[in-house]
């Protein structure tokens, strides 16, 4: 019975990580590039890692003994975007094994935090500063900064750009999400440093990957949707739709 429970616990973590890949890339634009010439970080074989986690059902998860397994989701623009390593998505997902419930905490990208070696900076710069120190390992510094800022241990970290977001949504055939209020964003990022206009009408909407990305990524909308808190709520709405 204990082994069976552990198996399903690993399945739960796998689901969290898959959702993380999808949702973390939804909020990924803004700020100045820390190093526009930096190379794209190596992408981990996340599905292979998830498979290994599931198959290793005899191993205890980090944080399991304390009944809280905390995963840090970091979303960045990646190669070809301004501020390639700025993590404008920072979300903590906490799984409580004893109840099988999950809590989410979105951390605003502009939160002032102390970054070791750089003083007080916006928290979304931690990953970029870490990349300058050790390419490919920026998430380690971001994890440390988040831990010392919120006072919780981080057991797992996922860092992605938003290419996978579109692919996963489209593979699922899209998602049905309820738009709480009509809004228009006339400053949504477009190629070559230009803007485009995106808008959403109140009510249920079938969203493909690109539409869902636009909905969760928008940060200059009118009607109360032009802030990080509103954007965070939209992110979690897409997560619920998934």
Contact (Cβ atoms closer than 8 angstroms) between residue 142 and residue 136: no
**CA atoms lying within 13 Å on the CB side of residue 12:** 22
Q: Could you tell me how many helices (H) and strands (E) the chain has, helices first?
A: 7, 10
Asked if residue 154 lies in contact with residue 70, where contact means CB atoms within 8 angstroms, the answer is yes
d(CA 115, CA 149): 10
Which tokens is 61 given? 């998860």
Give the number of other Cβ atoms within 10 Å of residue 21's Cβ.
19
**pLDDT tens-place string over residues 12-49:** 666 666 666 555 444 333 333 333 334 344 444 544 55
Q: Report percent pLDDT > 90 for the chain.
A: 42
**Residue 123 · residue 149 · CB < 8 Å:** yes
pLDDT at site 55: 52
Q: What is the mean pLDDT of residues 201-211?
A: 95
What pLDDT score does 58 carry? 62
Tokens matching residue 2 = 């204990």
**According to the model, what pLDDT value does residue 225 have?**
95
Say which range, 1-5, 94-98, 133-137, 211-215, has the weakest mean pLDDT: 1-5
Please state, in angstroms and rounded to a whole number, the distance separating the CA atoms of residues 147 and 154: 6
Question: pLDDT tens-digit profile of 59-92?
Answer: 788 888 899 999 998 888 776 677 888 988 898 9
């Amino acid at each position: 019975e204990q082994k069976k429970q552990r198996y399903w616990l690993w399945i739960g973590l796998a689901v969290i990580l898959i959702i993380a890949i999808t949702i973390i890339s939804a909020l990924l634009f803004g700020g100045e590039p820390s190093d526009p010439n930096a190379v794209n970080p190596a992408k981990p074989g996340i599905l292979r890692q998830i498979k290994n986690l599931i198959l290793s059902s005899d191993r205890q998860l980090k944080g399991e003994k304390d009944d809280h397994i905390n995963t840090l989701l970091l979303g960045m623009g990646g190669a070809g975007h301004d501020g390639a390593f700025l993590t404008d998505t920072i979300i903590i997902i906490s799984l409580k094994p004893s109840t099988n419930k999950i809590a989410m905490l979105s951390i605003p990208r502009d939160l002032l935090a102390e970054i070791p070696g750089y003083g007080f900076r916006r928290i979304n710069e931690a990953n970029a500063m870490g990349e300058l120190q050790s390419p490919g390992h920026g998430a380690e510094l971001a994890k440390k900064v988040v831990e010392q800022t919120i006072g919780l241990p981080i057991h797992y970290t996922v860092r992605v750009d938003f290419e996978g977001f579109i692919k996963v949504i489209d593979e699922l055939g899209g998602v049905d999400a309820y738009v709480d209020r009509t809004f228009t964003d006339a400053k949504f990022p477009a190629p070559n440093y230009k803007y485009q206009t995106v808008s959403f009408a109140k009510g249920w909407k079938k969203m493909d990957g690109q539409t869902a990305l636009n909905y969760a990524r928008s940060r200059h909308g009118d009607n109360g949707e032009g802030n990080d808190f509103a954007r965070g709520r939209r992110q979690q709405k897409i997560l619920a739709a998934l």
